[in-house]
Amino acid sequence: MKILVFGRNQTDYMQDDLYHGLKSLYGTDVECNTHIEYLYKDYQEDLAYLYGRGFSYAKNLDPALRVVVSEKEISEKLDSKYYDAVIYLSFFRCNQQFDEVTAKVDKNKIGVIDGEDDTLMCFSPPGFKTFKRELLVEPTASLFPISFAMPEEKIWNEPVEKLQMFSNQVPIVTGWIKQPNVRNRLLPLDYKFNTSSYQFKNEKDYYDDYKKSKYAFTFKKGGWDCKRHYEILANKCIPLFPDVDDLPQHIMTTYPKKFLSDVYKNYFKVTNDVYNQWLEYLFDYTKNNLTTKHLAKYVLDKIL
């Protein structure tokens, strides 16, 4: 399958997750209008300058998979009907050659991704397959929900030893941390938490904190969907998501919302055996539903 993707060389979790999934499935048959440098293992710059220090998404892909095509090459290949699908990985930020693409490609083979934090819809002509991350309206035959994912290589498959009840870090959430009644409802009274931004300087330390923790708190941030939700699960830790019951129906549709709602209501009173059953279920669920490969398959299934 020949796939053309349009993106930009700047961190965008939705773009990066889908690009990684497509490359993992189809390799060099996925061509891009630009070199998204930081996704490849030969990236030389300091990861500290990337958004989120590059945790989970940077330097995962083999450089041999890189295929960049010029605007002229794209035009020629569009003329020859070379591509089976065309995907705009972040339409709000990159819609290069869109008029040409729509004139030369069946609209049913074009995917438009809107991975923004807001709930406003990006412009997309009627009938084009559009995927919206923070989707509040009902899906249609051409409008679909989409969610973040994790690269398979970032999912920890080895045993873990739980040394602490909670992860050492709680993400900053405007307002709640300053309200003692809210804080005391969410956390034990003697819980020592750290809300500093990027407490961990490298990915290994960040992941290891989850691996040794039974639970980690997570919340809605800029949007409901957040990489942290998935990073916790990928490292064999259980997310505690206090406002999970408030999640809109068509946002984070791949996430085990109902299960984690039950977890949050009961985590403080379960035995170790029940905890281990929860952990096993969530780990299997993550591997079978929340990888970038599953994300890429989902998008292609809707387009083709």
In terms of DSSP H, where are the helices of 82-226?
Answer: 98-104, 180-186, 203-211
Percent of the chain with pLDDT over 90: 83
Residue 196, pLDDT score:
52
The CATH number linked to 107 is 3.40.50
For residue 250, the one-letter residue type is: H
19 and 141 co-located in one domain? yes
Rounded to the nearest 10°, the torsion over CA 30, 32, 37, 40 is 0
For residue 126, the one-letter residue type is: P
CA distances from 106 to 31, 99, 122, 185 (A): 18, 12, 20, 53
Of 110 and 174, the structure prediction assigns the larger pLDDT to 110
pLDDT at 197 over 70: no
> How far, in Å, CA of 265 to CA of 277, rounded?
16
Residue 122, pLDDT score:
66
Query: Tokens for 106?
Result: 């069946």
pLDDT at 174 over 70: no
For residue 231, the one-letter residue type is: E
228 and 94 co-located in one domain? no
What is the average pLDDT score of the chain?
91
Residue 74, pLDDT score:
98
Overall pTM surpassing 0.85 (yes/no): yes
115 and 163 co-located in one domain? no
92 and 217 co-located in one domain? no
77 and 98 co-located in one domain? yes
Q: How many residues does the chain have?
A: 304
Confidence band for 198, pLDDT divided at 50, 70 and 90: low
Residue 98: give the domain boundaries: 3-151+291-303
CA distances from 102 to 48, 72, 97, 124, 194 (A): 38, 16, 9, 11, 49
pLDDT at 100 over 60: yes
Into how many domains does the chain fold? 2
List pLDDT tens digits, range 222-255. Answer: 899 999 999 999 999 999 998 899 999 999 999 9
Query: How does DSSP assign 16-79, residue by residue?
Result: HHHHHHHHHHHGGGEEESS--GGGBTT--S-GGGSGGGGTTTTT-B-GGG--B--HHHHHHHHH
Provide the β-strand partners of residue 164.
213
156 and 259 co-located in one domain? yes
Confidence band for 194, pLDDT divided at 50, 70 and 90: low
Residue 172, pLDDT score:
58
Determine phi and psi for 206, rounding to 5 degrees: -60, -50
The mean pLDDT of 15-25, rounded to a whole number, is: 98
List pLDDT tens digits, range 29-85. Answer: 999 999 999 999 999 999 999 999 999 999 999 999 999 999 999 999 999 999 999
142 and 156 co-located in one domain? no
pLDDT at 187 over 60: no
Provide the β-strand partners of residue 144.
131
108 and 129 co-located in one domain? yes
> How far, in Å, CA of 102 to CA of 251, rounded?
28
pLDDT at 176 over 50: no
> 220 and 119 in contact (C-beta within 8 Å)?
no
39 and 123 co-located in one domain? yes
225 and 270 co-located in one domain? yes
